[in-house]
Structure 1
Amino acid sequence: MAFQNTQTPPGMNMPETNQGVFSSTITDTSLSEALITLRKRKWVLIWAILASLVYGIFRAETQPRMFASFGRIQVRSGASNEYRLSAVQGFNTDTTTKMMTEIEILKSDSLMLTVARDMDLANNPAFLEKKGPVPHVSLDDPAVRQATIHRLQSFLQVTLVPKTDIISIGYSSLDPKLSADIANKVISTYIQRSYETRFASTQRVSEWMEGQLDDLKQKVENSQERMMDLQKQLGILGFDPNHNQISTSLEDLSRAAGQAELARIIAEARYRVLSGMDPNSIEGSIETTPGTAATELTQLRAQAATDKANYAQLEANLGPNHPQAKAVKAQIDELDKEIKDEESRLLLQAKSSYIVAQANEKQTTAALDQQKADAYKLRDDLVEYTLRQREYESERNLYDGLLQRLRTASVQAGLESLEIDVVDQALPPANPVLKPQSTIILTALAFGLLGGIAIAFLMESLDTGLRSIAEIESVTELPSLAIIPRGRRSSAEQAGHLTTAQRNISVLTQPKSQFAEAFRSLRTSLLLSTAGHPPKFILLTSATPSEGKTTTASNLATILAQRDTRVLLIDGDLRRPNIHHRFGLNGKTGLTTVLTGATTLEGTVQNVPEIPNLDILPSGPVPPFPTEMLGSETMEELLKRCGDIYTHVVLDSPPILSVTDGVILARMMDAVVLVVRHGKSSKHVVRRARDLLLRSGAPITGIVLNAVDLNSPEYYGYYGYSGYSYSSVDSEGWESQATAGTGDRKGGRG
């Protein structure tokens, strides 16, 4: 504190918890917390249960006497399954799916509309549950149609008998005959609809298939004609594409080409051998001319050799000029010429044979190449032929299968009506169907209890008032210094022989009560709130008016003065002073007169006879500018002087959210206590007040929760007095003590 060297500066003497380190969050969501909430909102539960009980009794006594009539049908697959088309074979699916589908059809709008039209239910008083004639309406009106269908569906019960193919169809109404009639009409309409829809579906499939058959038949005929034309074009015999003229010619040409190539090779070899040989050895090398005698040239050579031998003999015996020798010589010359001519002929003959064989080979090869090209084309044509043949066979098979199914569909159309059998017709019931009254009442009670619990928790979540210590600590992040219970007047106070201070300051008349013990706890918390020394300047403020800060300041100053200390209580609320009313003092002079210099501190403070160690400095006359007066240097000097005289100085200030006086005073204090009234202050208001004090640098010590009902679920047995109490106050009767300027206080507000 700036007023004494022994004190720390403002904002520096706050405990660590006041610097924002302290944090308490509500994490307990156990069953006990829920029970506390329900106990706190017990009247909500009681009223909810009572309302549900009354409603349940009313519903049980006034429930309508409804007559329910039931009929049963069997939905079976029937003998027609073997003739069914796979496209419409719906009953081969899962049985549960089939039965649920039929149940939805029974409750469909179209079926209900047909029943309503046939029975004229829109104009039936019994169906509408009206007495006397009703105005005539038409189902063509959308509103009438919708209302009629909705009413039919509401009272119609369609259920599946477990583990069977039987469906139970019932209807409830006030008229037993009408219930039976509607149930039977629903059954008959459903059977008729089932027959018509299935027959129409089969007919549509048949008509579509007939159209497809005509197109398919034309396609089959066209495919067959194209295949036959291509077969003729390819020269295929019958339907065997492996034997045709082109393949036969190709085989013959292949053989001829091989033979021609062989003949050319032989002729070429013969010609080349003959052309390169010695003429004298031609006759002994190879066969000369195919098909002729191979000894002709040899004979000529042999005859020439014989003649030459004869000529040599004749020339030796007769001489070369002998006519006989000349004749032999001439014959020899003729033979030589013939031999040369024969050799030339043989060579020319071999060359001619070679040329012929070569030409034959070329022609045969060319014919073979052409035939191969034709064969390749034939191969492509055969592929197309195979595709055409497959197309023809596929379309023919599809046509035959579709024709067979079309004939089957004609049989199936006449068998669909056998799928549904009526097991039991609905009969008018003899007695109405009533729910047990106990069931209705218990159901209403259960819903009422659940609704009450929901409303209780909803009200708890919407309640922004701060009621529990954990909740306040979580919102403000400040420690709780004490819980002040709601004050109650004693029998002595009610007697009227007490002084004003004794009537208003409860700790004087009830020193052993829970109320007094709470202030002693607050005193202890404050004295231990700062390290090393107790706080000298203590400010009590609140976020809004009427939270009990004046009551708290008065009783706290009284408790502090009961020790061997001198305590000064200053009324810092210069706008609505109330301290002097609490102690029955004169308020004409006080803080304002001291600050203005009109009076001195010693001449202005007033003493309370009941509390010798307590001096009171009232507010004095209301000044025109309270804020400037409280924030002046004169105020600081006055506080410093008070600190030199008194052990503790307790100030009561205005609400900090209403005016800024409390914020200005808080900066000059050693400890600031924020008073929060139980159930009145909201979370946002308290958090806003805390933020203002923190931003101003005020040393906030903690919070005081005021006017707590210790019998409430959150604080039941909080002080442990349920089994332990002071004997002097056991028999005292208590009643609510006003905590903020009411009753006998003249306009004061705390």
Structure 2
Amino acid sequence: MQDQFYEQTEEQEIKLTDYLHIISRYKWLIIAIFVLVVAATVIYTFHSPKIYSASSTIMLEEKSSENLLFSSMANKATSINNYIEILKSRPVLEAAYSIIQNSEIYPEIPLNPANHEEPDKFSPIGAIKEKLAVESQRETDIIKISYESTHPGEAKLVANALALGLQNKDNEYARIEFKNVREFLENRLDETERRLRNSEEDLRSYKIDKGISMLSEETTQIIEQSAELELLLSEAETEYAVAKNRLDFLTSELSDQDKLLSDVNSIITTPLLEQLRREIVTNQSKYLNLLSKPSYSPDHPELVALKNQIDNAKRQLNEEIQKTTNVKAGTADPLVYRADLISSISKARVEKNIAESKVENLRKSVEQYNRQLSLLPDAEIELARLERNNRINEKTYTMLNEKFEEARIAEKSKMGKIRIVEEAQLPEAPIKPNKKMNLLIAIVLGLGGGIGSSFLLHSLDSKIRTFDDVRNYVSLPILGTIPFIRVHDSDIDYLEKQIKNATGEGKEELKHIKQQVESRLITNYAPKSSTSESFRMLRTNIVAKKKKGQPLSLLVTSSGPKEGKSTIISNLAVALSQMDKKVILVDLDLRRPMQHKIFNLEKNEGISDFLYDHDKELETFIKKTKIDNLDIITSGFIPPNPSELLASSHMDEVLDILKQKYDYILLDTPPTMAVTDSIILAKKVDFRALVVRINQADKIVIKRIKEILDNVDSDFTGAIINGIHPQKYYSSYEYNYYYYYYYGKEDEKKDGALPKKSS
């Protein structure tokens, strides 16, 4: 029967009310954690600096091209990722910071080191990189640049400066070829300017020294023609130098690409790519062989599967090749770039050859005019030479200046791949702290933390707190549930006042009532209370266990001290005596006896005296109480060896004698975990009850004492649950709660005393 009860209790399912009881028990902890978290969040939110965010948008313009086998989106993703990393690089950040420094609001923004306590230790570049956020828009060529700051103007300024800095750096890379030409022409222009000034000074000095200012018309014509040819020669030499410079630059770029392709050729011979190639060739051969058979059509499942395998292998092969080339080349399609270089080199070589041929022909013509000039008189020859050099330098300077401007315009007009789509705008409101979101998170964390802490404490708590704990850890039939017996100080004070004013027998009666109230003997001084009804229900369950016509010996113990076992057994004894049955209560707690105090009797001449020296009859140790049908044997003196006395044959004799005289023999024994007295007596009685006090009894201790009883082939008949609060522990379907609801509320105030207070 009891084993069946154990199985039923072990299979109890967890109900929602169980969790609600735990939450109700720890409600103040939950409220405290909730208030603490919300308060901390509110303080943090209102004291946190306001953070503003601004975003600019750029677009990567890149020409699409075909891959080795078929097109892929991997190249686009790689290019975008490359530009994102370039944007975070120090050169771009420094360029952006230079733009920021030229802003009107620079003196007031946090990025200005002067606005910090230790300017030398502040790094503006590091601060920009830390607060910078870059993300690419999915399936587009758009890159979003965001920056957060406590200054709204700085957020806008930095976001725009980063976009502009990246665009400038990209343009610089795209204009590098034109830059070389411009720098070459600039150097030639400076050199020609110096020659022009020198020739002008030489001509002026010669005319002054020789007193010659005019040349003959024939000489002037020869000089003009010679100067024109010299100009053409200088122009041709310039074109030749530009073409040669450009060809050298392109050849250097091609050399770098050839090294790259040579490296790629070695990489694409890896075992993985070789395996993929062999797989493609094998599957293609198998596909063609099957297709040649009459029974196989192109839509045959086996051919479709082979074709899918071939396509997948090609795709994988292409992706592996693209990964290699993209990483090494830094461009989406290095082969196309190399082809463009070769085309540009071919054109540059043709231009160089044409310019070289032109230079040679012009030099011959110039030499011819120089021979004509050599035939002139000496004075006229020198003046003609100076005049010609001056005109040549003038025209050469004009020509170089024109070409320099053309090169500079061409350089400026060359644009990179970055386009600014949208500039950052001044943020109107801060994005942090988000007051609503922070408060919502605080509410969730506060409730979650509080409830989680309550469940954690509940799981770590080893005390019996609820009826579920009783069912799960005590695993005994419940004989009765006893509410907490309140003793109000006001009732004691009232009784003391009554005692002072009373005389004679009335005074003694009041003293007796006061003693019973203090001893919580509620079944005698308040028999109509709901608590007394709980003892009567306990009495009913015990009486049901009694065999007809036979006495019942009952042992009441607890797992530990202060669980109320003495109070319960004394009230149970009173309830049994009210049935007109003869009841005796034996105080066998020979270490800390209590029954003599509860019933206001002398402790001496008790059970220990009889067990220690049984020369007297047992009847001489039985004491009458003021309650009908209830006798008591007090503990007597405190012996040095209680366990040995209780284990003796004299104790068996005591029980045999009492069973002949009484219907119910109640034994008040010490806590089981503390001493072995209860274990010794367990096999001597018919009924064993374990008092379990809510919030006091320990789960581990109860489990241990049950194991101890099992070791001596005994067990508890049932459990008495003590110290409950009816509103907290009973459901609306349990009888005791109904009784409490209908009667207990009125009687609760009367539990402390019987006499009514006068108004």
Q: Which of 673, 682, 692 is residue 689 of structure 2 equivalent to?
A: 673
C-alpha distance 586-204 of structure 1, shift in aligned 2 (>3 A): farther
Cα distance in structure 2, aligned partners of 1:543 and 1:38 = 27
Q: Do 2:50 and 2:433's aligned partners in 1 also have CA atoms closer than 8 Å?
A: no
Distance change in 2, residues 1:549/1:424 (3 Å): same
Aligned to 1:528: 544
Amino acid at match of 2:150: L
Alignment deviations for residues 324-374 of structure 1 (CA, whole Å, 9 cap, x no partner):
xxxxxxxxxxxxxxxxxxxxxxxxxxxxxxxxxxxxxxxxxxxxxxxxxxx
Report if the CA contact (8 A) 1:66-1:174 is conserved. yes
Call closer, same or farther: CA 1:563–1:187 in 2, change over 3 Å.
same
User: Identity over aligned residues, as a percent?
Assistant: 26
Pick closer, same or farther for the CA change 1:412–1:457 going to 2, 3 Å: farther
CA distance in 1, matches of 2:334, 2:637: 114
CA distance change for structure 1 residues 623 and 465 in 2, over 3 Å: closer, same or farther?
A: same
Matches of 1:477 and 1:179, distance apart in 2: 68
- 8 Å contact from structure 2 (residues 609, 636) kept in 1: yes
Map residues 354-503 of structure 1 onto 2, 5 A cutoff.
Answer: 406-408=338-340, 418-429=416-427, 432-433=430-431, 437-489=435-487, 495-496=494-495, 497-499=510-512, 500-503=515-518
Q: Is the 8 A contact 1:577 1:619 kept in 2?
A: yes
Tell me, yes or no, if the aligned pair for 1:59 and 1:440 is still in contact at 8 Å.
no
1:93 equivalent in alignment to 2:52:
no
> 3-state SS of the aligned residue for 2:628?
strand
**Offset at 1:583?**
0.9
Structure 2 CA distance, aligned partners of 1:602 and 1:594?
10
Matches within 5 A, 1:294-313: none
2:151 maps to 1:175: yes
Please name the residue that 2:25 is paired with: 40
Is the 8 Å Cα contact of residues 535 and 670 (structure 1) preserved in structure 2?
no
Cα 1:93–1:531 shift into 2, 3 Å = farther
Q: What is residue 184 of structure 1 aligned with on the other side? A: 160
Instruction: Compute the displacement of 1:646 (Å).
Output: 0.9
1:17–1:114 Cα change, 3 Å: farther
Whether contact under 8 Å (1:541, 1:549) holds in the other structure is yes
In the other structure, the counterpart of 1:71 is 56
Distance in 2 between residues matched to 1:205 and 1:510, nearest whole Å: 109
Separation in 2, partners of 1:736, 1:99 = 88
Separation of aligned partners in 2, 1:722 and 1:103: 78
CA distance in 1, matches of 2:718, 2:251: 90
Alignment partner of 1:24: what SS? helix
Partner Cα separation in structure 2 for residue 215 and residue 732 of structure 1: 96
Task: Say if 2:13 is the partner of 1:28.
Answer: yes
Shift of 1:186: 3.6
Change (3 A) 1:518 1:407: same
Taking the aligned partners of 2:264 and 2:450, their CA distance within structure 1 comes to 74
* Aligned residue number for residue 625 of structure 2: 608
Output one character per residue of 1:463-520: Cα deviation in whole Å (capped at 9) or x when no partner: 2221222332222332121111111237766532351235421111221222212211
Deviations 1:230-278 (A, max 9, x none): xxxxxxxxxxxxxxxxxxxxxxxxxxxxxxxxxxxxxxxxxxxxxxxxx
Give the corresponding residue for 1:565: 581
In the alignment, the residues of structure 2 paired with residue 434 and residue 402 of structure 1 have an alpha-carbon distance, to the nearest angstrom, of 45
Give the structure 2 partner of residue 62 of structure 1. 47
Q: Which amino acid aligns with 2:529?
A: S
- Report the more deviating stretch, 559-568 or 448-457: 448-457
Q: Per the alignment, do residues 648 and 713 of structure 1 end up closer, same or farther by CA in structure 2, a change over 3 Å counting?
A: closer
CA distance in 2 between counterparts of 1:676 and 1:57 reads 46
Alpha-carbon distance in structure 2 between the residues aligned to 1:63 and 1:416: 47
8 A Cα contact 1:675 1:705, kept in partner: yes
2:558 alignment partner, one of 542, 559, 564: 542
Aligned to 2:215: none
Hey, what's the Cα distance between the residues in 2 that align with 1:402 and 1:438?
52
Secondary structure at the counterpart of residue 711 of structure 1: helix
Contact 2:563 2:691 (C-alpha < 8 Å) held by counterparts: yes
Does the 8 Å contact 1:206/1:409 carry over to 2? yes
Taking the aligned partners of 2:597 and 2:741, their CA distance within structure 1 comes to 32
Structure 2 counterpart of 1:170, which letter? S
**Secondary structure of the residue that 1:730 maps to in structure 2?**
helix
Range moving further from structure 2, 636-645 or 174-183: 174-183
The structure, 1 or 2, with the larger RCO (C-alpha pairs under 8 Å, 6+ apart) is: 1
Q: Is the 8 A contact 2:482 2:534 kept in 1?
A: yes
Distance 1:643 1:661 in 2: 20
Given that 1:541 and 1:673 are in contact with CA atoms closer than 8 Å, whether structure 2 keeps it comes out as: yes
> How many Å apart are 1:537 and its aligned residue?
1.0
Q: Which residue matches 2:303? A: none
Shift in Å at residue 680 of structure 1? 1.8
Would the alpha carbon gap of residues 210 and 482 (structure 1) be closer, same or farther in structure 2, given more than 3 Å must change?
Answer: same
State which of 115, 118, 138 in structure 2 corresponds to 1:134: 118
Structure 2 partner of 1:242? none
Cα distance change of structure 1 residues 409 and 636 upon mapping to structure 2, 3 Å threshold: farther
Distance (whole Å) between structure 1 residues aligned to residue 87 and residue 546 of structure 2: 79
Q: Hey, what's the Cα distance between the residues in 2 that align with 1:719 and 1:103?
A: 78
Shift of 1:567: 0.8
Q: Distance in 1 between the 2:251 and 2:568 partners?
A: 95
Rg: which structure is higher? Answer: 1
What displacement does 1:197 show? 10
The aligned residue for residue 338 of structure 1 is none
Is contact 1:40-1:713 (8 Å) kept? no
Alpha carbons of structure 1 residues 562 and 425: separation in structure 2 relative to 1, 3 Å? same
Q: Deviations over 1:437-468 (max 9, x none)?
A: 44433332232122222222222222222122
Q: Distance in 2 between matches of 1:412 and 1:712?
A: 92
Would the alpha carbon gap of residues 71 and 647 (structure 1) be closer, same or farther in structure 2, given more than 3 Å must change? same
Question: Could you give the per-residue CA deviations for residues 61-111 of structure 1, whole angstroms, max 9, x where no partner exists?
Answer: 3342223222111234x23x34x8759x9973397x569847974896879
8 Å contact 1:670–1:699 — kept in the other structure? Answer: no
1:555 matched residue in structure 2: 571
Q: State the distance in 1 between where 2:152 and 2:685 align.
A: 87
Gaps of 5+ in 2: 102-106, 177-249, 266-332, 346-410, 496-509, 754-759
CA contact (8 A) 2:87 2:93 kept: no
In structure 1, the residue matched to 2:258 is: 210
1:455 and 1:412 mapped to 2: Cα distance?
Answer: 74
Matched, 1:579 2:627: no
Query: What is the CA-CA distance between 1:129 and the residue it aligns to?
Result: 11
More deviation, 725-734/620-629: 725-734
State the one-letter code of the partner of 2:37.
S
5+ long unaligned stretches in structure 1? 1-15, 218-400, 738-750
1:604 partner amino acid: F
1 CA distance for matches of 2:343 and 2:551?
Answer: 108
Equivalence map 1:577-656=2 (5 Å): 577-596=593-612, 597=614, 599-609=616-626, 611-656=627-672
- Partner of 1:563, secondary structure, is coil
1:703 is matched with which residue: 719, 725, 729? Answer: 719
Q: Partner of 2:145: helix, strand, or coil?
A: strand
Matches within 5 A, 1:213-362: none
Per residue, is there more helix in 1 or in 2?
Answer: 2
> What amino acid is aligned across from residue 438 of structure 2 in structure 1?
I
Amino acid at match of 1:29: I
- The CA RMSD measured in Å over matched residues stands at 4.6
| Distance in 1 between residues matched to 2:705 and 2:95, nearest whole Å | 72
Give me the whole-angstrom Cα distance separating, in 2, the residues matched to 1:656 and 1:437. Answer: 59
The aligned runs of 1:155-170 (5 Å cut-off) are: 155-159=131-135, 165-170=141-146
